[in-house]
């Protein structure tokens, strides 16, 4: 028997319509290159999105065309999110901080027809112009007065194009499984791979993300997404915020700038903010050094990399702010697991709660997860057993753009049984909290035993003189592989290898202690701010342990 319910398609444009009618006065505040504090409300935002849809038509963009963006977090990028997807095209966000060859590869692979770019990205495009054969038009996200000089052909000004268009536009209705967005991930081996989101996955992800135990998004909150809009749709904030009428504060290119973040938080009354650990360390250091506080901020969500305990403690002790750690991937839109306490944990000590915050959070409805051993046998949720983490759900990728989406194929990240293989290694506690212990390609297998590089790194960064730490596995004649700890010291600090080893003595099991410590001035980082293990392995290719 068929249900008698309307088969309304889940459309990104429906979020925009909802925000326009239900939260017309809610503000969106942005920092842009041409305006340090741009303000508009949802009513104006929706009107500009319709004008932008007409601009896309006028530039010859058609249903299904990929429209690339190389931009920071601001209102114009938000307009692109809604107008491009809403009119049936694919909003392809590109990370401008990637290596130029990767940017070229990604634009060409996706066959972007139009690029919308921030003024700051123009020098990069000038350098790449010979290689971007498919791009027909470049639109600079600025006003006429701020248009840069350029040798590029077919360059237009965003505000001029918008001003010339009417705000009459009816958002089309189509199949909810149509591609709405695209984001390439370089977190896999080989060339970056394109993850393709749909209207359905995006709307469901926003609904899941807004739940009380997830981001607790609401009309009463003000959110500052510091996670870039070019990285997994800023973790879904642009959609969840408009769905619930949450005020958005967008920091533009000033992402890692403690002073700008502090100022935005305090003047706009930010209650919730999201970003990777590096961002929070920068903010905490700025606040401490300048004796400043962020009283309105009650929660920060941390993801993309394991959150060091020190971040949880400093936010709590210095700013009365709760750290909410989450785990996810570009391929999972990214929401997978998020920290929140369960009933029965009300009496937990601060120490116990901190322990839980240092885990990766627990499952959100919509994501099923399991851990498996080398034979693909499911492991128990006992907090001890750890194995490859697999997930599935309506906002998890079923394949990569241009590669096979047949489960089990070499190019397909989904196994024969329909589970997405995350490449992460994890344990799950009986209460359902995920504990990422490593990435598959990063795990150190020493004498047949797995060693978590993350545990060693976390232990090392708790030393007050260590600024950053990374662990890689290196060849060892007896154990096959042993951990090598590579550290960057805090400015003007000097400690020895033995000091570090002594510090780790009671923090790690004997087998998990690194065999050596080397000091470097800086660690290589990927474009999204993570330590590049690939880069480190290359640098230390010929390294040999002293005793070996």
Cis peptide before 73 (omega within 30 of 0): no
**Catalytically annotated residue among 342, 445, 478, 493:** 445
**Catalytically annotated residue among 32, 185, 330, 332:** 185
Q: Choose, by CB under 6 A, the member of 117, 162, 436, 523 that binds ligand AMP.
A: 436
Minimum Å gap between C-beta 118 and ligand AMP is 21
Rounded to 5°, angle at Cα 250 from 248 and 251 = 150
Distance CA 42, CA 19 (A): 7
Structure tokens at 427: 């344990």
Shorter beta-carbon distance to ligand AMP: residue 262 or 306 = 306
How would you class 394 by CB atoms within 10 Å of its CB: exposed for 0-12, middle for 13-18, buried for 19 or more?
Answer: middle
* Measured distance between the N- and C-terminal CA atoms of the chain, rounded to whole angstroms: 70
Q: Is residue 538 among the annotated active site residues?
A: no
Minimum Å gap between C-beta 333 and ligand AMP is 10
| Crossing angle of helices 350-357 and 309-319, rounded to 10° | 130
Positions 283 through 312 that interact with ligand AMP (CB under 6 A): 303-306
Distance CA 134, CA 154 (A): 13
Q: Contacts with ligand AMP: how many residues (CB under 6 A)? A: 20
How would you class 545 by CB atoms within 10 Å of its CB: exposed for 0-12, middle for 13-18, buried for 19 or more?
Answer: middle
| Cβ-contact 38, 30 below 8 angstroms | yes
Q: Choose, by CB under 6 A, the member of 273, 325, 333, 458 that binds ligand AMP.
A: 325
Structure tokens at 519: 């000091």
Place of tokens 């709307």: 203
Shorter beta-carbon distance to ligand AMP: residue 135 or 397 = 397
Confirm or reject binding of residue 422 to ligand AMP (CB under 6 A): yes
Confirm or reject binding of residue 455 to ligand AMP (CB under 6 A): no
Shorter beta-carbon distance to ligand AMP: residue 238 or 423 = 423
Q: Choose, by CB under 6 A, the member of 85, 95, 357, 528 that binds ligand AMP.
A: 528
Confirm or reject binding of residue 334 to ligand AMP (CB under 6 A): yes
Q: Which residue in 411, 418, 376 sits closest to 393, CA to CA?
A: 418
Query: Strand 449-451 relative to strand 420-428: parallel, antiparallel, unpaired?
Result: unpaired
The H-assigned helical ranges of 296-393 are 309-319, 350-357
**Catalytically annotated residue among 27, 44, 450, 530:** 450
Contact letters for ligand AMP, residues 479-518 (x by CB under 6 A): ----------------------------------------
Shorter beta-carbon distance to ligand AMP: residue 245 or 529 = 529
Confirm or reject binding of residue 330 to ligand AMP (CB under 6 A): yes
**Catalytically annotated residue among 20, 79, 159, 331:** 331
| Cβ-contact 90, 64 below 8 angstroms | yes
Positions 53 through 112 that interact with ligand AMP (CB under 6 A): none
Shorter beta-carbon distance to ligand AMP: residue 370 or 439 = 439
Rounded to 5°, angle at Cα 312 from 310 and 317 = 90
Residues in CB range of 35: below 8 A, 6 or more apart? none
Q: Choose, by CB under 6 A, the member of 51, 73, 215, 360 that binds ligand AMP.
A: 360
Candidate segments 2-10, 21-29, 71-79, 325-333, binder of ligand AMP by CB under 6 A: 325-333
- Cross-strand bridge partners of residue 196: 182
Shorter beta-carbon distance to ligand AMP: residue 232 or 321 = 232
Q: Is residue 185 among the annotated active site residues?
A: yes
Positions 230 through 249 that interact with ligand AMP (CB under 6 A): 232
Q: Is residue 445 among the annotated active site residues?
A: yes
Candidate segments 163-171, 235-243, 413-421, 422-430, binder of ligand AMP by CB under 6 A: 422-430
User: Which residue has its beta carbon closest to ligand AMP?
Assistant: 330
Minimum Å gap between C-beta 332 and ligand AMP is 8
Q: Choose, by CB under 6 A, the member of 439, 497, 525, 537 that binds ligand AMP.
A: 439
Secondary structure in 3-state letters for 388-416: EEEEECCCCCCCCCCCCCCCCCCCCCECC
Shorter beta-carbon distance to ligand AMP: residue 222 or 330 = 330
Distance CA 284, CA 106 (A): 35
Rounded to 5°, angle at Cα 318 from 312 and 324 = 30
Minimum Å gap between C-beta 330 and ligand AMP is 4
Shorter beta-carbon distance to ligand AMP: residue 76 or 205 = 205
Distance CA 104, CA 358 (A): 38
Confirm or reject binding of residue 278 to ligand AMP (CB under 6 A): no
Shorter beta-carbon distance to ligand AMP: residue 252 or 328 = 328
Positions 182 through 211 that interact with ligand AMP (CB under 6 A): 185, 187
How would you class 9 by CB atoms within 10 Å of its CB: exposed for 0-12, middle for 13-18, buried for 19 or more?
Answer: middle
Minimum Å gap between C-beta 310 and ligand AMP is 15
What's the Cα-to-Cα distance from 203 to each of 52, 197, 368, rounded to whole Å? 21, 10, 18
Structure tokens at 546: 């002293």
Place of tokens 């990604």: 106
Shorter beta-carbon distance to ligand AMP: residue 42 or 360 = 360
- Cross-strand bridge partners of residue 327: 337
Q: Is residue 331 among the annotated active site residues?
A: yes
Shorter beta-carbon distance to ligand AMP: residue 119 or 335 = 335
Candidate segments 96-104, 164-172, 264-272, 323-331, binder of ligand AMP by CB under 6 A: 323-331
H/E stretch holding 263 reads helix 258-268
Minimum Å gap between C-beta 315 and ligand AMP is 15
Distance CA 246, CA 18 (A): 12
| Cβ-contact 238, 28 below 8 angstroms | no
Q: Choose, by CB under 6 A, the member of 184, 327, 386, 401 that binds ligand AMP.
A: 327
Minimum Å gap between C-beta 336 and ligand AMP is 8
Binding site for ligand AMP (CB under 6 A): 185, 187, 232, 303-306, 325, 327-330, 334, 360, 422-424, 436, 439, 528
Catalytic residues: 185, 331, 445, 450
């Amino acid at each position: 028997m068929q249900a008698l319910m309307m088969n309304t398609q889940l459309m990104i444009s429906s979020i925009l319509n909802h925000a326009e009618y239900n939260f017309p006065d809610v503000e969106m505040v942005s920092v842009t290159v041409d305006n340090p504090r741009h303000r508009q409300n949802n009513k104006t935002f929706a009107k500009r999105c319709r004008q932008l849809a007409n601009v896309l038509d006028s530039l010859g963009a058609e249903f299904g065309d990929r429209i690339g963006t190389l931009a920071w977090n601001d209102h114009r990028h938000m307009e692109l999110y809604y107008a491009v997807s809403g009119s049936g095209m694919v909003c392809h966000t590109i990370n401008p901080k990637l290596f130029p060859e990767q940017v070229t590869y990604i634009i060409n692979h996706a066959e972007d027809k139009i690029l919308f770019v921030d003024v700051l990205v123009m020098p990069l495009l000038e350098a790449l112009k010979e290689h971007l054969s498919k791009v027909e038009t470049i639109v600079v996200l600025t006003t006429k007065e701020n248009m840069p000089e350029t040798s590029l052909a077919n360059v237009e000004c965003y505000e001029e194009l918008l001003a010339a268009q009417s705000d009459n536009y009816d958002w089309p209705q189509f199949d909810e499984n149509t591609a709405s967005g695209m984001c390439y991930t370089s977190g896999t081996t080989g060339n970056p791979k394109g993850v393709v989101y749909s209207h359905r996955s995006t709307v469901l992800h926003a609904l899941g993300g807004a739940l009380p135990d997830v981001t607790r998004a609401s009309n009463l909150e003000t959110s500052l997404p510091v996670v870039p809009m070019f990285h997994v749709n800023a973790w879904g904030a642009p959609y969840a915020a408009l769905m619930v009428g949450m005020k958005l504060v967008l920091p533009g290119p000033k992402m890692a700038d403690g002073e700008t973040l502090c100022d935005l938080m305090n003047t706009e009354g930010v209650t919730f903010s999201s970003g990777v650990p590096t961002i929070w360390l920068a903010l905490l250091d700025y606040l401490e050094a300048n004796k400043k506080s962020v009283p309105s901020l009650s929660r920060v969500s941390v993801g993309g990399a394991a959150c060091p305990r020190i971040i949880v403690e400093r936010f709590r002790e210095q700013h009365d702010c709760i750290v909410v750690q989450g785990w996810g991937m570009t391929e999972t839109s990214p929401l997978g697991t998020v920290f929140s306490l369960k009933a029965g944990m009300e009496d937990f000590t601060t120490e116990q709660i901190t322990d839980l915050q240092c885990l990766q959070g627990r499952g959100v409805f919509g994501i099923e997860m399991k851990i498996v051993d080398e034979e693909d046998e499911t492991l128990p949720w006992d907090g001890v057993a750890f194995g490859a983490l697999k997930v599935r759900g309506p906002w998890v990728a079923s394949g990569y753009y241009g590669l096979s989406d047949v489960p089990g194929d070499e190019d397909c990240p989904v196994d024969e049984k329909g589970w997405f293989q995350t490449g992460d290694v994890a344990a799950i506690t009986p209460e359902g909290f995920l504990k990422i212990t490593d990435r598959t390609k990063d795990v150190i297998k020493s004498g047949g035993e797995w060693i978590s590089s993350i545990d060693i790194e976390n232990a090392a960064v708790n030393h007050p003189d260590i600024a950053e730490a990374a662990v890689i596995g290196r060849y060892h004649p007896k154990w096959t592989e042993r951990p090598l700890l590579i550290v960057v010291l805090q400015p003007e600090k000097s400690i020895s290898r033995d000091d570090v080893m002594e510090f780790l003595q009671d923090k790690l099991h004997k087998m998990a202690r690194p065999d050596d410590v080397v000091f470097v001035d800086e660690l290589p980082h990927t474009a999204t701010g993570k330590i590049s293990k690939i880069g480190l392995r290359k640098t230390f290719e010929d390294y040999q342990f002293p005793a070996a």
